Chain A
Amino acid sequence: MDMGYYPGCTLKTNAKVFEDSLLKAFEKIGIKLKELNKWYCCGTVYSLATDNLMYRLAAIRNLIRAKEGGYEKLVAPCSICYNTLKQANLMAKSDEEAMSKINAFMDEEPDYDGSVSVIHPLEVIEAKLQEIKAAVKKPLGKKYAAYYGCLLLRPKEIAIDEYENPSIMERLIEALGGSVVNFPLKNECCGSYNVASNKEAVVDANYRIITNARRNGADAIVTSCPLCHFNLKEMQKEVKKVHPEFAGLPVYYFSELMVEAFGIEKEG
């Protein structure tokens, strides 16, 4: 099955491992993610200023490209891209006035009607758990803490799962032969862009989240967001400077676990 695929800038740069593993894992369960011919930075943060539509142009333009490519569904793996595109699509469906302005501004593009549906790979996985179980060659065997962060769940209108207590990722981990731990901080914020301007906030969040996962017996953290991945993984060395007793945890993208469990050899 072919699905429209919006990689986003980060999967082409810092999170290359996410893209590589996701494409391989999805191919294994019979899904070909077809990258859009043309795509643009999603805008990174969904602008909450309702009267500034300029920051929504990129998202709408991406959705137009998806529709043009004949895709009813557009898969966006990065949590930030998913959030931005999904919220923009919601606006396209519900805010006629905003869309008439956007359509008039982008007079070189066909009008957009909100008809593409933006989905996250975890939502695709939900419907493929049987195929996933069948494809497992090396069951994971470890204990994992599934970390969702904010952007897959908030605002609740765009949540990929139960927004207070999601469990899609846990079901995937179990299908891959791993076990999951109770993890109350699974939807706690990782500190997000504070990493650029207020590192202490991220160090603090990292310490609380990783410590909570460890206390609940996790061997590793699993996530889907490149920014959460960075804040939880790379910032552990900063945490150690503040809390010398801190013992970190490895952090993986959910797709890396799929590749591992499917026994797909790493290239090179």
Chain B
Amino acid sequence: MARKSKKGGKQKMEMVRIYIMGKEYKVPAGLTIMKAMEYAGYRYIRGAGCRAGFCGACATVYRKEGDYKLHADLACQTTVEDGMWLVQLPFTPANKAIYDMDKIKADDKTLVNFYPEIARCVSCNTCTKACPQELDVMDYIQASLRGDIAKAAELSFDCIQCGLCAMRCPAEIAHYHVAQLARRLYGKYVAPKARHLEERVKEIEEGKFDEEMKKMMKMSVTQLRKLYNARDIEPEED
């Protein structure tokens, strides 16, 4: 975004106006919201993590001039625009059910029993509009409501738990906790078991690889490197 100014040929940055909690700042165009806030002098103690769009720590809401919509995004993934009104949401209070995965069952009532408030969903779709991952949030809540654990797990797979859905929901649902339970139930009880994994774990527990491990522990780094480079790589299966 840098450009040459007419006077003197020096590089001059293009600046945009942003408002952080109501106060105006001028920041270089092209920065992410997160960088722009740091440029303006704010320091992140909470509400920042991977800075790469994966951890979901930097939920942010903003409005743009002349636009009635309240936008929701991740501060590390969104570029500032001129006339943005910003605030960070470092945390979402959302109650999480307590359960023991070994003791609960996966049936069509499990999700609604742990999170009865999902029955309050009126299909307003506000959660879906708030999701920075562009998930079909309302659809996975609806799937949860009718006990379709597999569907809820599939639709919520890319959830990063930023909490924006829960913050916007008029029915006060904590969507991402529901989804996490759905994925846990799916993984433990619904999805087909990986037989080869079970067999390998059994082999390990029976000590099949103990000798080999002991041998390797005594090797020098050079020997290990040689062994590693000469290892067999299994052909990929279709």
Contact = CB atoms under 8 A, between A and B. Distances in A.
B129 A9 contact: no
Interface in A35-62: 38-41, 43, 54-55, 57-58, 61
Given A12-B108, A40-B138, A108-B129, A61 B146 contact: no
B49 interface: no
A39 B121 CA distance: 13
Contact of B142 (A41, A55, A57, A105): A41
Q: How large is the interface on B (under 10, 10 to 19, 20 to 34, 35 or more residues)?
A: 10 to 19
A197 interface: no
A41 B124 CA distance: 11
Interface string A178-211: 0000000000000000000000000000000000
A17 interface: no
A105 B128 CA distance: 14
B82 interface: no
B81 interface: no
B109 interface: yes
A12 B123 CA distance: 18
A55 B120 CA distance: 10
Nearest to B108: A13
Contact of A57 (B108, B109, B122): B122
A38 B139 contact: yes
B148 interface: yes
A124 interface: no
B146 A13 contact: yes
A41 B129 contact: no
A57 B124 contact: yes
A40 B138 CA distance: 9
Contact of A41 (B108, B109, B121, B148): B121
B47 interface: no
A61 B123 contact: yes
Contact of B124 (A9, A12, A38, A54): A54
Interface string A52-87: 001101100100000000000000000000000000
A106 B125 contact: yes
B147 A12 contact: yes
15 contacts: A12-B108, A12-B146, A12-B147, A12-B148, A39-B142, A40-B123, A41-B142, A54-B170, A55-B122, A57-B122, A58-B121, A61-B123, A61-B125, A106-B125, A108-B128
